[in-house]
Structure 1
Amino acid sequence: MKIHPLWEDYPSLKTELERTLDLMETSINLANKEVENAILEMIHSGGKLLRPAYLFLFSQFGKKKDTQKTIALAASIETLHTATLIHDDIVDEAATRRSLQTIQHKFGKDVAVYAGDYLFIVCFKLLAHHVSSLKSIQLNANSMEKILDGELGQMDDRYDYNISVESYIKNISGKTAELFSLSCFLGAFENNAAADLSSQAKDIGLNIGIAFQILDDILDYSQNETTIGKPVLKDVRQGIYSLPLICAMTSHRQELMPYLDKKIKMSDEDTQKIYDIVKQADGITKARILAEEYTQKALEQLSKLPETKENTRETLIKLTTQLLNRQA
C-alpha cells in the first residue's frame, strides 16, 4: 500500500491512514471491475490524505475516542474528496492526476461521472453506519453544498479580468477549505470534544484550507508538471484566474490582456509569457504574503488548543507548518 512519504515522520498517523485506505477499498464494490480498479488505483496513487489526517488529530481532543468510528469518518471524508476530484477532472478535461491517467481520460466522461457519483454513495453509507447523530450528516451535506457553490462561483468568474481577491477567497473557501474545515470539526465533535473546541476546529480547518489552496495555486506558477503531478497553468488556459495572476493584474493588466482573450486558444508561448509577466509583477510574492497571513492565523489558533497526552497540539503545529511551506 502506497502512503505518501510525508507520514514517515508520523508513525501513529501513518497506521491510521493505512487503515482508512483499507476501509475505503473494502467499501468499493462495482460490477465493472475495470472501473473499480481505476478508482482503487486513484485512491492508492499517493495522495497526501491530509483531510483524514486532520480528522484523526482533532479526534484526540475528544473525551472518549472511538477508533473504528473515526476511521470510518476519515474514509468517508477522503471518499468525498476523491469524488470531487473525479468530477473536477471531467470539467477540466484533465488527462493526468497525480501523474496517472484520469478516469475521464481513460474511460470517457460518462464512466467518470458514474464513478464520482458512486463514491458519493459510498461516502454517505459510511456516515450512515458510523456517525452518532444526524448533525454530522447534515454538516456533510452542507459542506457538499458549499463545495459546489465554490466551484460554481469559480465557473461564474471565468475570464473575468476584474475578479477581486475577495471573490477568489470566497470561491476557494468553498471548493477547497470547506472540506478541511469539516474534517477538523468531525474529528473533534464525533469524539465528544468540548463544544467550543469543536467550533475552534472548524475555523482552524478553514484557515488551513485557504492557505493550502493559495499555496497550491502558487506552485502552479513555480513548479513543473512532473513535480506536482498535473499540468501547470492549466487553470489560466480555462479562464480561471488564481491569486498570483489576480495580484499581477493590479499593476500589469495591459501587458496581460492580449494573452487572456477567451476567443484565442492559448499556446505554450502564451502561457510562458503570462508566467513571465506574473513573475515580473511579483504576483507570486504577493500571493505568498496572503498565504502566510492565513498560515499564521491557523498557527496562532492551534497554539491556543489544550495539551493532550499525545502532544496533539505540537503535532498539529509541526504538520501545518510543514504543509504550508511545501514545495510540491
Structure 2
Amino acid sequence: MKNFWTNYPEIAYELEIVKNIIKDNIKSSEKYFKESIFELVDAGGKMLRPGLLLIASRFGNYDKEKMYNLAAAIELMHSATLIHDDIIDEARFRRGIETIQSKLGKEYAVYTGDFLFCQCFIMLSKFNYSMDNLREISAAISQICKGEIRQYNLRYSLDTGIKNYLKIISGKTAALFAISLYTGAWESQCDEKTSKLLGRIGYHVGMAFQIIDDILDFTGDTLRLGKKTHTDIIKGYYTLPIIYAIKEDKEGKIKDILENNIIEEKEIQELIKLVNQFKGIEKSRKLADKYTEKAFRSIEELPECKAKKILKEITHELLSRNY
C-alpha cells in the first residue's frame, strides 16, 4: 500500500488512520477470529477504494473524521467480499498470506465475512450520512453479489458472451470503484453533477481495471503480479480474452481444450497461444483503452483543484499497467 501512495504522503498517512479505524471496529475477544482479520487488514493491498473516496471528498468540504470512517466502512465491505470470494474459489492465499477459509475452514470464513458486513453498517450508522447515500452503498453491495452470482452461474460456459462478461465486472469491480468516488463527493457536500461525474469516473476506471487484470492473467507472470496466473481458466471463469478469441476461432480449437476435464500447464500454454492468435488479447486491450479514454475525458470535466490532479495521476498509474 505504501509503495502505491508514495507520491501522496498525506493520503498514505490518512490511509494508515483508516486502517486503524478498521481494527478498532473489528476487535473481538475470540483470539483466532481477531488474529485472522487483523492479518488480512495488515496485508492491506493498495487500499484503492478508500484512497479514491478520500480523493473525491477533497472536491467538497473535507470533514476528516467523517470521511475516515466512511473510507474504513467501504474497505471493510471490500474485505468481506474477498473473504467470501476465497471460499467460493477455494483460494489458499490472498495478498501473500493464507486465506481464512484455508487456515480455519469455510464455515469460519463465512461467519467472518458476515461479521465484517455487519460491522460495515454499524460504522455507517455512527455519522449523519445521507439516507440516499446509504441506499447507494446498499445497492452497490447488491450489485457485487449479483455479479458474483452471474459469474458463478456461467462457470465453464463456452457461450458467456461479451454482454454477460461486462455485466459481471460491472458488479464485481466497477460498482465499488464508482460508489467510493460518488459517496466521497456527496458526503463532502459536492453538488449532484460533480458527485455523479465522479461516480461515472469510478465506473469507467473499474471496468478498465478489471479488463486489464484479466489480460494480465494471460500475459503476466506470478512473480511480477504477486498472484498465481491462469486460475480463472482452471476454475471455469472465462474472461474477455477467451470470449473474444472463441468468437474468431471458427474451428473450435479453444472450445476443444476447454471441454477437456483436466487442464494442465501444456493446455494452458496452448490456450494462451490460441487466444493471441485469434486476437483475444488485442481486442481486450482496445476495449480497456476505450474505458480508459472515457475515464480521462470525464476527469477533464471536473473542477480544477489539487484533487483533480491526484485523481488523474492515480488513474494513469492504475490503468497504465504493463499488459
TM-score (norm: length of structure 1): 0.95
In structure 2, what residue type is equivalent to 1:118?
A: F
Q: Does residue 1:99 correspond to 2:96, yes or no?
A: yes
Give the superposition deviation at 1:217: 0.7
Give the superposition deviation at 1:46: 3.8
Work out the CA distance in 2 between the residues paired with 1:160 and 1:67: 47
| Matched residue, 2:284 | 287
Contact 1:4/1:47 (<8 A) preserved: no
Q: Does residue 1:317 correspond to 2:312, yes or no?
A: yes
Q: Does residue 1:220 correspond to 2:217, yes or no?
A: yes
Q: Does residue 1:22 correspond to 2:20, yes or no?
A: yes
Work out the CA distance in 1 between the residues paired with 2:93 and 2:227: 6
Work out the CA distance in 2 between the residues paired with 1:132 and 1:301: 26
In structure 1, what residue type is equivalent to 2:221?
A: N
Contact 1:98/1:228 (<8 A) preserved: no
What is the 5 A alignment of 1:37-76?
A: 37-62=35-60, 64-76=61-73
| Matched residue, 1:241 | 238
In structure 1, what residue type is equivalent to 2:63?
A: D
In structure 1, what residue type is equivalent to 2:51?
A: A
Structure 2 gaps of 5+ residues are none
| Matched residue, 2:294 | 297
Give the superposition deviation at 1:202: 1.3
Q: Does residue 1:143 correspond to 2:111, yes or no?
A: no
What is the 5 A alignment of 1:73-84?
A: 73-84=70-81
Give the superposition deviation at 1:170: 1.0
| Matched residue, 1:8 | 6
TM-score (norm: length of structure 2): 0.96
Q: Extract structure 1 runs of 4+ deviating beyond 6 A.
A: none
Select 1:108's aligned residue among 105, 108, 118: 105
Work out the CA distance in 2 between the residues paired with 1:71 and 1:153: 32
Select 1:199's aligned residue among 181, 196, 199: 196
Work out the CA distance in 2 between the residues paired with 1:224 and 1:108: 29
Secondary structure in 1 matching 2:190: coil
Structure 1 gaps of 5+ residues are none
CA deviations 1:67-115 (Å, max 9, x no partner) are 1010000000000001000100000001111222111111110111111
Give the superposition deviation at 1:131: 4.0
Work out the CA distance in 2 between the residues paired with 1:99 and 1:225: 11
Work out the CA distance in 2 between the residues paired with 1:282 and 1:179: 30
Aligned length: 322
RMSD between superposed Cα atoms in Å: 1.4
Select 1:177's aligned residue among 174, 178, 184: 174
Give the superposition deviation at 1:21: 0.5
What is the 5 A alignment of 1:132-171?
A: 132-171=129-168
Tell me the percent identity: 38
Work out the CA distance in 2 between the residues paired with 1:81 and 1:178: 11
Give the superposition deviation at 1:177: 0.5
In structure 1, what residue type is equivalent to 2:127?
A: H
Work out the CA distance in 2 between the residues paired with 1:272 and 1:45: 31
| Matched residue, 1:255 | 253
More displaced 10-residue stretch of structure 1: 128-137 or 172-181: 128-137
Shift in CA distance, 79/131, structure 1 to aligned 2, threshold 3 Å: farther
Q: Does residue 1:273 correspond to 2:270, yes or no?
A: yes
More displaced 10-residue stretch of structure 1: 297-306 or 158-167: 158-167
Q: Does residue 1:122 correspond to 2:119, yes or no?
A: yes
In structure 2, what residue type is equivalent to 1:53?
A: G
In structure 2, what residue type is equivalent to 1:317?
A: K
In structure 1, what residue type is equivalent to 2:176?
A: L
